[in-house]
Chains A and B, each alone.
Chain A
């Protein structure tokens, strides 16, 4: 079945430390992968996406993600976390054979000063 998983409900990181938010997807044709961020009572903001080509994708606000086909993962990373990065993060996948995008359940990222 086509699916995406975010195995951690919450990630806690100290400001200035590197952060990783995990995402894995099921193998079902060619996946197109997306990361979004949501601040409280707001809509989702697009961060980055992987379509094809270079496995390392750079996006907004210093975030990047690496597409790893062998591990079916697309983890979101940032070298140095900011308190303002605290938010809810969604990974999403869309397959070349599918008509809709599938969202993960979200990971709440908390950056402590």
Chain B
């Protein structure tokens, strides 16, 4: 998990509320990713960014938003439009977006709905 930090470790969301998950990396990586993990389903890609000020939707982007204003930061906002947000959220980064690159993961944030 070294080099990538995620906060908070646990996050509680009330009905109709937007919440933001933080992801910071000090690895000088260009590419960053957000995944959602549900039991028995592996990881699903939400959004990814290969360079500052640019990002693309993944497989399950609806109800989520991101920004990439700085190289080291890639926050994820879970909006009220996401009806089933309870999951474990993982941020990752890689040196570039190249297909041979290894992705390195943060420790994760568990989001729970009150």
Interface residues of A (CB under 8 A from B): 9, 32, 34, 36, 41-46, 49, 51, 90, 94-96, 98-101, 103-106
Contacts and interface: CB of A to CB of B under 8 A. Distances in A.
- Interchain residue pairs A-B with the least CB separation, the first 9: A43-B105, A103-B42, A44-B105, A103-B43, A105-B42, A43-B107, A94-B99, A43-B108, A43-B1
Interface of B: 1, 4, 6, 40-45, 48, 56, 58-59, 88, 90, 92, 97, 99-100, 102-108, 110
B104 A46 contact: yes
B90 A43 contact: yes
Contacts of A32: 99-100
A99 B97 contact: yes
Contacts of A99: 56, 97
B105 A96 contact: no
A106 B58 contact: no
Contacts of A51: 100
A34 B107 contact: no
A34 B1 contact: no
Nearest to A48: B102
Nearest to A97: B99
Nearest to A91: B42
B99 A105 contact: no
A44 B48 CA distance: 17
A44 B90 contact: yes
Contacts of B103: 46, 101
B108 A41 contact: yes
Contacts of A42: 1, 107-108
B35 to A, nearest CB: 8
11 contacts: A41-B88, A41-B108, A42-B108, A43-B4, A44-B105, A90-B42, A98-B99, A100-B58, A100-B59, A101-B45, A105-B40
